[in-house]
Structure 1
Amino acid sequence: MTGFARSPKLTRAGLVLIDPGSGAVTRIVSLQYAADTLTRKLTAQAVEAEGDRSHPLRLTGPAVETITFDAELDATDQLEFPDNNPSAVETGLFPALAALESLLHPTVAQLERQSAQRKSGSFEITPAETPLALFVWSRSRVVPVRLTDLSITEDFFDPALNPIRAKVSLSLRVLSVADLGFEHRGGGLFMAYLQGKEALAARAAAGQLGELGLGGLPT
């Protein structure tokens, strides 16, 4: 057995789409290569009544968390074995890119239903509802999100102008119980995500005041 055969299997990141009602998985969008850098921003939801200084430490809800990262897609490896990858030969990366783009579009059926409601004079047009998206980045990070922004750069094409290499930049907003409510399936998944954070925080090494140059706190 070679050293290559003993190499650890790499875990991919991706997005899992589920039906909010049944929890059934409707699609898995696997990112071919994990990003080298992932940026997260958390903004506290605090009491900020103008002139009110009576609750400086109180939080009104979970922090608003956003996640941004770049990922690369490449169909070159599949094209080396065309018999095993007919889709890549025929359409390159178009299917993978379309799967990501579908997170931002209503379906054709939803748009047609809205059009029919308008034509019938419906007082209220039903907004299109997308599947619930879960961002998966290791077993420790499975969190409900909304894709808010997607940028795609296609930089290499086959003779039929199918994209062969592409870079995608994704911006995700974590959906908390403040967005979904406690009864929503995504709300439960967010609570599990938050509980995981608390468990990991409990495992962090405790610091000492001496490390900060203090013998004790001022009184």
Structure 2
Amino acid sequence: MSYADIPRPIRSGIVILDPERGTPQRVIVLQFNPDTLERSLQPQSAGGDSEGQGGGDKNEALRLKGPAQESWKFTAELDSTDQLEVASPNGIHPQLAALEMLVHPTTAQIRENSRLSKKGAIEISPIEKPLTLFTWGSKRVMPVRLTELSVNESAFDVNLNPMRAALSIGMKVLSVSDLPAGHRGAELYMAHLAQKERLAGIAPGIGIGALGLGGAGGLGGGTTFTASGTSRG
């Protein structure tokens, strides 16, 4: 097999959508896929005991108010010295600016709010950003909001344009608990959750005999769990 025959890896990235039409307004492709991902899921317990500290309503112990709160953290790298054949008079300024604008309002939005304030508007709505999706292959496409963006620039050209940087990126996955009913982001989250359900459905089933409980045959093996232990049905 030659080098040309090796399939190119799919890139992870961020897609900025028009929330009404669902059409991509911009695609930000990560130059290198992160080596590691840190994900956390916090269950939304109905009894108010989401942190497992006890004291919640015992009748609600197994109930959920909604999907778990999910967050992602990873480190991405940008390096214009890896693309010396491509002219980069601004270094990685454009790539950094594209990511930073995910957490900034535009100047037009700021000016519009300032204009409304000067006119004496009683209520000025917070500035709304476009819908943002994070993609990690075809099985992980989810609406997100950036919660952290830290940049460590480590190389510069003669004009002090950054040439290399490591970015620490944190994201909160936006679920139906965060978005209004009918919002395109809520629909995309439901598709993301349905994908999890499909993948969970094809996970190999193992009988409880592997745990030293009951028989080894089948998933349940006819075993019943009681206060005195397990018994075979």
Asked if structure 1 preserves the Cα contact closer than 8 Å seen for 2:13 and 2:134, the reply is yes
Alignment RMSD: 1.3
Aligned residues: 212
Q: What percent identity do the matched residue pairs reach?
A: 48
Give me the whole-angstrom Cα distance separating, in 2, the residues matched to 1:186 and 1:11. 23
What are the equivalent positions in structure 2 for 1:54-65 lying under 5 Å apart? 54-65=59-70
- Show the counterpart of 2:51: none
* Cα distance, 1:111 vs structure 2: 0.3
The answer to which of 61-70 and 42-51 deviates more is 42-51
> Aligned with 1:143: secondary structure?
strand
Letter in 1 for 2:192: Y
Which consecutive residues of structure 2, in runs of 5 or more, have no partner in the other structure? 49-54, 215-222
- Show the counterpart of 2:78: 73
> Aligned with 2:58: secondary structure?
coil
Alpha-carbon deviations, 1:159-203, whole Å to 9, x = none?
111111100010000000111133000010000000000000001
The answer to which of 45-54 and 28-37 deviates more is 45-54
What are the equivalent positions in structure 2 for 1:199-214 lying under 5 Å apart? 199-214=198-213
TM-score (norm 1): 0.93
Give me the whole-angstrom Cα distance separating, in 2, the residues matched to 1:67 and 1:111. 29
Which consecutive residues of structure 1, in runs of 5 or more, have no partner in the other structure? none
- Show the counterpart of 1:120: 119
TM-score (norm 2): 0.88
Could you say which structure has the higher helix fraction? 1
* Cα distance, 1:55 vs structure 2: 1.7
Larger Rg: 2
Alpha-carbon deviations, 1:125-184, whole Å to 9, x = none?
121111100000000000000001100000011111111110001000000011113300
Letter in 2 for 1:196: Q
Give me the whole-angstrom Cα distance separating, in 1, the residues matched to 2:180 and 2:119. 33
Asked if structure 1 preserves the Cα contact closer than 8 Å seen for 2:47 and 2:63, the reply is no
